[in-house]
């Protein structure tokens, strides 16, 4: 038996039932508890990195479902099983954000009045009750959308999807600032919400490529093209944000980039750029790779690795270098819980409902 077949068989056995990943997740949670005792700030940073990465897959899957409900296309029908199943994990992500909400002072300096946020902003926006409320409203609505979309057909589906996209666009801009940029409240980027939306969509597309079965469906070329467009969007928006901010030379803005010019953040930035931008983009330029399920699986894995490194680059410098170790452990923990959740029977219920409606 080849090594590739052995790996596939082990993976299928591990993911068909939730037991193995659940045990890994529980063991990892114990490790995170130990990390929390000895380095609470680093543990907080690692958990936020992992939450940001893994939540991108179900939220990006919901985004893909809403886009397809409005635009159509064979890619949405072919990869509906992957998107619908991943989107069911949105309630899990709502549960996993609770440690962030319960320990806001450990994560965000504005809780203690640090930073130079305007007094009105601090009073009316950057306060714990409103922060928690915004996150709760967003996850409640996203959960409702993930529940409704597989159960709708006809004119109702695009109407709900259109309203959902408007809500998603608004909340991803708000929560992008809340979850990430308010770690250093002196820094503001009006393009960051769009960046985060592209990252989540790319995460969902890459995840679908990795877990989809090989059937040589022409829709693989479509999803490869969509991932290429999403990665080009991320690269362009980030480049323009750096260009405008850096050459603006405003000290209250460029400090965010300056503190990331030190070791090891330069290395992480370089690796994120290679794995999350350069390598997958140039690979997807090749039509035969873009249409090959096996090649797309490798490209999807590269993309997910690059996005994980990008999330580390965004979050970890606000904590300390130990946050890198905590992030590595937390990525395993939340990843194992995510896989265990998808292996539960209820994760397939929306797909069964969708197939009944669409006759597929």
pLDDT tens per residue across all 360 residues of the chain: 455 555 555 545 555 677 888 888 889 899 898 888 888 889 999 999 999 999 999 999 999 999 999 998 899 899 999 999 999 999 999 999 999 998 888 888 887 765 555 656 666 777 888 899 999 999 999 999 999 999 888 889 999 999 999 999 999 999 998 899 888 867 778 889 999 999 999 999 999 999 988 887 888 999 999 999 999 999 999 888 888 877 776 666 777 787 888 889 999 999 999 999 999 999 999 988 998 999 999 999 999 999 999 999 999 998 888 899 999 999 999 999 999 999 888 888 888 887 887 766
Q: How is residue 168 written in tokens?
A: 């998603």
39 φ/ψ angles, rounded to the nearest 5 degrees: -145, 75
Asked if residues 161 and 155 have their Cβ atoms less than 8 Å apart, the reply is no
- Give me the count of residues in the chain: 360
**Omega before 264 cis (within 30°)?**
yes
Longest dimension (CA), the chain: 66
In the DSSP assignment, the letter for residue 79 is: T
305/329 Cα distance (integer angstroms): 15
DSSP for 236-298 reads: HHHHHHHHHHHHHT-HHHHHHHHTTSSTTHHHHHHHHHIIIIIHHHHHHTSHHHHT-HHHHHH
Asked if residues 350 and 84 have their Cβ atoms less than 8 Å apart, the reply is yes
Asked if residues 67 and 165 have their Cβ atoms less than 8 Å apart, the reply is yes
DSSP for 279-293 reads: HHHHHHTSHHHHT-H
């Amino acid at each position: 038996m080849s090594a590739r077949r052995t790996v596939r068989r082990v993976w299928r056995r591990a993911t068909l039932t939730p037991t193995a990943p659940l045990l890994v997740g529980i063991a990892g949670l114990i490790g995170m508890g130990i990390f929390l005792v000895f380095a609470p700030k680093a543990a907080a940073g690692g958990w936020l990195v992992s939450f940001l990465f893994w939540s991108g897959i179900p939220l990006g899957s919901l985004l893909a479902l809403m886009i397809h409900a409005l635009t159509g296309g064979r890619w949405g029908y072919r990869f509906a099983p992957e998107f619908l199943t991943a989107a069911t994990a949105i309630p899990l992500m709502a549960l996993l954000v609770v440690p962030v909400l319960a320990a806001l002072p450990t994560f965000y300096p504005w809780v203690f009045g640090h930073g130079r946020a305007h007094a009105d902003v601090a009073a009316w926006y950057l306060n714990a009750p409103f922060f928690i409320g915004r996150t709760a409203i967003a996850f409640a609505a996203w959960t409702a959308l993930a529940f409704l979309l597989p159960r709708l057909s006809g004119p109702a589906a695009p109407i709900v999807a259109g309203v959902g996209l408007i809500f998603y666009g608004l909340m991803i801009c708000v929560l992008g600032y809340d979850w990430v940029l308010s770690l250093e409240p002196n820094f503001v980027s009006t393009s960051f919400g769009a960046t985060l939306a592209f990252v989540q969509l790319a995460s969902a597309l890459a995840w679908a490529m990795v877990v989809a079965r090989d059937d040589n469906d022409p829709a693989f070329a479509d999803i490869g093209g969509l991932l290429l467009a999403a990665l080009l969007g991320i690269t362009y928006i980030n480049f323009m944000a750096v260009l405008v901010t850096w050459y603006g030379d405003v000290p209250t803005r460029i400090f965010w980039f300056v503190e990331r010019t030190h070791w090891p953040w330069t290395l992480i930035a370089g690796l994120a750029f290679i794995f999350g931008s350069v390598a997958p983009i140039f690979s997807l330029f090749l039509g035969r790779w873009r249409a090959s399920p096996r090649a797309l699986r490798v490209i999807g894995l590269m993309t997910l690795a690059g996005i994980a490194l990008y999330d580390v680059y965004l979050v970890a410098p606000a904590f300390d270098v130990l946050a890198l170790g905590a992030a590595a452990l937390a990525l395993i923990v939340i990843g194992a819980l995510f896989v265990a959740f998808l292996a539960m029977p209820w994760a397939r219920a929306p797909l069964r409902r969708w197939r009944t409606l669409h006759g597929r």
